[in-house]
Amino acid sequence: MKLFKIEENDANQRLDKFLKKLFPLATRSLIYKFNRKDKIKIKSEWTEGKYKKMDNEYKLQEWDEVKIFLSDDEFKILNEKPQEKTSSEDEQSEVIKFNKNDIVFEDSDLLIVNKNAWINVHPWDHKTKESNLISQVQDYLWDKLNSLTFKPSLIHRVDRDTSGILMIAKKKDILTKLVADFKTHDKVKKTYYAIVLWKLSRKKWTIKKNLLRIEWAKWENKVQVSEEWKTAITHYKGLKEHIIHTEQWVLILTELEVTIETGRMHQIRVHLASIWNPILWDKTYWDKKLNAYFANNFWLKRQALHSWKIEFFHYARDKKMELTANIKDDLVEFIKKIK
């Protein structure tokens, strides 16, 4: 028998869902069988201090106690965690530890990091076995969280080749509230730094163009400007211009500050490309012929886009917060070189 005390992160979920998370290898029918055979008992304010059988639909409350009458062997098999599974040598060679120097802000509710380029934020991205940021973060926080079933979770996403601010929730209620804020954009303001090709037609402007996402795109771009789909609004302001003289071209590059009112997939990249100011080194939405030039002469090998600043409401602290993630060294060095 084992006894579990329900903490904040495990509360307000159905008993069967809690058990499914606690026992990843158990089927739903097996979990129902445990309850049916009186192997699950709960003590709560509704049971008058006694351990009683509860329906699978019962919502666990903070400070409830759950007794589970299973053998040690059954616990060991059903409670096996993904990180305990063995990996092949190839997979092990790709494991990268989380770098604490990338932390922008951390408290008991949130971890906000300055993500590096070339790393996926989620293990499902691009169907690859490469290391991903959320797995690194979960490994880093594993012994610091007081939860049986909740894992640190992404509040929003950033493209693989984009660096900068990424927010991770340590608590379920904070995750729920901030995900809702990101969807409505009422209390969140995201500011990006970008380097684009060519001179701006307007130093300061708002781009309002609907974007269509093509889920199963093969030969066409996955996101396109289209009047058929969802509204997208991007504001930009030019910061500095740089002129590069080569044997073949005279290139103008412009540093931008970009803010978005909506959070569509590839929004900034598609919007800027649509006004003929594509983001430098964007492999999808600009002229790929120049990529090799910048890679060979300036060592730039990723799109020049950085999630720079974030403004949001911190519910646990009951205040608005503004944070900045330093622009990554590769972009800083690139600007120094072209000057």
Residue ranges making up the domain that contains 123: 90-338
Q: Is 313 or 80 the better-scoring residue by pLDDT?
A: 313
Question: Do 120 and 155 reside in the same domain of the chain?
Answer: yes
Residue 186 vs residues 74, 130, 177, 189, 312: alpha-carbon distances, Å: 47, 35, 12, 8, 9
Enter the tokens of residue 214: 């093509």
Question: Do 95 and 74 reside in the same domain of the chain?
Answer: no
Residue 80: pLDDT band (50, 70, 90) is low
Strand bridging mode 305-314 / 103-106 = unpaired
Question: Do 6 and 99 reside in the same domain of the chain?
Answer: no
Model pLDDT, residue 85: 40
Mean pLDDT of 34-56: 88
Question: Do 114 and 262 reside in the same domain of the chain?
Answer: yes
CATH code of 14's domain: 3.10.290.10
Question: Do 77 and 112 reside in the same domain of the chain?
Answer: no
CB under 8 Å, gap of 24 or more: what pairs does 141-146 form? 141/111, 141/170, 142/83, 145/9, 145/170, 146/7, 146/8, 146/9
Distance CA 249, CA 46 (A): 76
Model pLDDT, residue 190: 93
In the listed set 81, 110, 138, which residue is the last one of a domain according to the structure? Answer: 81
pTM of the entire predicted model:
0.76
Residue 185: pLDDT band (50, 70, 90) is confident
In the listed set 56, 81, 106, which residue is the last one of a domain according to the structure? Answer: 81
The number of distinct structural domains making up the chain is 2
Residue 87: pLDDT band (50, 70, 90) is very low
User: Which amino acid is located at 105 in the chain?
Assistant: F
pLDDT digits (tens, 9 = 90+) for 225-259: 777 778 889 999 999 999 988 777 788 999 999 99
Question: Do 106 and 50 reside in the same domain of the chain?
Answer: no
pLDDT digits (tens, 9 = 90+) for 270-306: 999 989 999 998 888 876 777 778 888 888 889 999 9
Q: Is 125 or 211 the better-scoring residue by pLDDT?
A: 211
DSSP assignment of 225-264: E-TTSB--EEEEEEEEEEEEE-SS-EEEEEEEEEEESS--
Model pLDDT, residue 84: 40
Residue among 324, 196, 186 nearest 271 (CA): 196
Mean pLDDT of 44-56: 87
Question: Do 75 and 146 reside in the same domain of the chain?
Answer: no
Question: Do 12 and 108 reside in the same domain of the chain?
Answer: no
In the listed set 81, 107, 130, which residue is the last one of a domain according to the structure? Answer: 81
Question: Do 52 and 73 reside in the same domain of the chain?
Answer: yes
Question: Do 126 and 32 reside in the same domain of the chain?
Answer: no
Question: Do 69 and 94 reside in the same domain of the chain?
Answer: no
pLDDT digits (tens, 9 = 90+) for 137-176: 888 887 666 667 788 889 998 888 899 999 999 988 899 9
**Per-residue buried b or exposed e for 265-288, using 16+ beta carbons within 10 Å of the residue's own CB:** ebbbbbbbbbbebbbbbbebbbee
For residues 188 and 312, the answer to whether their CB atoms sit within 8 Å is yes
CATH code of 183's domain: 3.30.2350.10
Question: Do 183 and 292 reside in the same domain of the chain?
Answer: yes
Model pLDDT, residue 125: 53
